Chains A and B, each alone.
Chain A
């Protein structure tokens, strides 16, 4: 399998001189196509910062980032927007659905920016919702859905443009155990279908459902291939 994500000596530094914060420092990481990995580490260790860089939402201060063989540093904002639209799906802890739109319209939104014609949009959005088990909730507004259902709508939105990569920053952080399991089952299924899944989590039980764990501490990658079974509550602290 070829590398989808290659981070080389990536650094992300906030502020300048004496107020400097090294959110990421000398990060080297390769994620191949079809990977299903979780990113773990203490709070403030740079997990979200790394996700933003990987998701082309943010540029590193230093280092080289190759995404799908492309040097992202060379691209302007609009080109990055196109990459995010076509190749990356995002799932957030807070769902980030638009309250005024129905589930169907929320899911169809990425296709609006992708220039997909309306008829095809509706059809693909309905399919995506069906894939996450919400075929009967198409017209509901987010406020009419449970947290788990909202997150499933968000997942449908993330996959509707058939991305290469699904990025999820603490996707189960706001969910209870049952709905967490449902969401993880969907991720596993999507990964089976060929989508690379990278997920930040604080829960060892969730991490154990992925193939490997990337461990962050103080802005650096400590382990790139931890066995999820090794994660215990003890390691979480360190």
Chain B
């Protein structure tokens, strides 16, 4: 009896009990669908974060308060050492740096007439819009005069403007930020969430105004900032800029030992590699969890095959009586198991791919079904069928035909 015959026979047997075959496959289907969609989701997340980081531009530097080591260790230390004056010094004294923006973010309650909204209040300087590569949709961005005069002017994120004003014109209106009145001078174009800050749902005001009217002095060294972003002249001068900014800040902060740094600098590359490590680990974890369901599916196949062997002892005995060899029986049951799992793998893949397509529609992630994940899932489920099919198939092959025939 050759392989083709065994295959046809297995298909016939499986087709004869469609419900059971379907239920047996279900475990593998779910396993495959989850592996593929989870890996797709992880990949989509990685892509999304990469895109966001890429959109920052290759020349940007982020100067963040705190010591790199203690921050990484999860220390809750809140360094107040980075101030607006640092940003100004960088802008003036570091030749390889073009623009410098300082940002200080606090939560705030925004009110227009009787409408309220909770939003981030971001105090920054006019260079912000060029450094971060943003654009305004209406009106203007903050100007140097606003800074000098501590003007109560505000630029609204797109979504916030929509929420507060709906169809009304926002420009020129008065809003209240934590009970201080500001005039709306501009609305940002849609930016999307960016490094965890949703600029669409934020109100942007001069950092000087924020310090003097909203938060007061929080640092002994000047106006405190959450972080400073700076653009280097070009990607070649990025290293130089990082070096010069480091030296300048150490000088200003009186730091001799680099281990004592109270700030650290990140560029697109370091952010990308951090993000890659995190999303890679995440994807792996998702895949590992999903693989468990694949394993459970495999065990399900073994379970059903064992039941099937028991139920079909008479059939096995009969087949042996009329001339089936041990190998014939072994092959028959093994092929049944592999067909179940491989078919489950293919169906699960289709389900997974459609799930991913759905995810890309519903989330900002452009999740993709990676070819590698598909090949892996189908291959793995086929092998799972083979692996978990061996025990039942051997049991069937070893049955004594007399005992098998006698069982009723």
Contacts and interface: CB of A to CB of B under 8 A. Distances in A.
Interface of A: 52, 55, 57-58, 77-78, 81-82, 84-86, 90, 92, 94, 96, 98-101, 109-110, 112-115, 157, 161
Given A96-B314, A98-B315, A90 B322 contact: yes
Contact of B322 (A58, A101, A109, A115): A109
Nearest first, the 5 A-B pairs at minimum CB distance are: A85-B323, A100-B16, A113-B323, A110-B322, A96-B318
B326 A78 contact: yes
A119 B325 CA distance: 23
A78 B325 contact: yes
A109 B13 CA distance: 13
A52 B5 contact: no
A110 B323 contact: yes
Contact of B12 (A57, A101, A157, A161): A101
B214 interface: no
B256 interface: no
A96 B323 contact: no
Interface string B309-326: 000001101111111111
B324 A81 contact: yes
Given A84-B322, A90-B322, A113 B1 contact: yes
8 contacts: A84-B321, A85-B322, A85-B323, A100-B13, A101-B12, A109-B322, A110-B322, A113-B325
A179 to B, nearest CB: 21
A218 to B, nearest CB: 20
B259 interface: no
Contacts of B222: none
Contacts of B5: 112
Nearest to A52: B402
Nearest to A114: B323
A132 B323 CA distance: 22
A109 B321 contact: no
Interface in B298-354: 314-315, 317-328
Contacts of B16: 99-100
B321 A57 contact: yes
A86 B13 contact: no
Interface string B1-21: 110010001001100110000
Contacts of B324: 81, 113
Contacts, number: 62
Contacts of B408: 94
B325 A81 contact: yes
B315 A115 contact: no
Contacts of B325: 77-78, 81-82, 113
A84 B323 contact: yes
Contacts of B318: 96, 98
Contacts of B323: 81-82, 84-86, 110, 113-114, 161
A96 B312 CA distance: 11
B14 to A, nearest CB: 10
Contacts of A58: 402
Nearest to B5: A112
Nearest to B318: A96
A75 to B, nearest CB: 13
A35 to B, nearest CB: 21
A101 B327 CA distance: 21
Given A100-B13, A101-B12, 16 more contacts: A52-B402, A58-B402, A82-B323, A84-B321, A86-B323, A90-B321, A94-B314, A96-B321, A96-B405, A100-B17, A109-B322, A113-B1, A113-B319, A113-B323, A113-B324, A161-B323
A199 B314 CA distance: 21
Contact of B328 (A84, A94, A100, A113): A113
Contact of B1 (A94, A101, A115): A115
Contacts of B317: 96
A102 to B, nearest CB: 10
A97 B401 CA distance: 15
A95 B235 CA distance: 85
Contacts of A100: 12-13, 16-17
A78 B324 CA distance: 8
A114 B2 CA distance: 10
A109 B322 CA distance: 8
Nearest to A109: B322
Contacts of B322: 84-85, 90, 109-110, 113, 157
Contacts of A110: 322-323
B321 A112 contact: no
Contacts of B2: 115
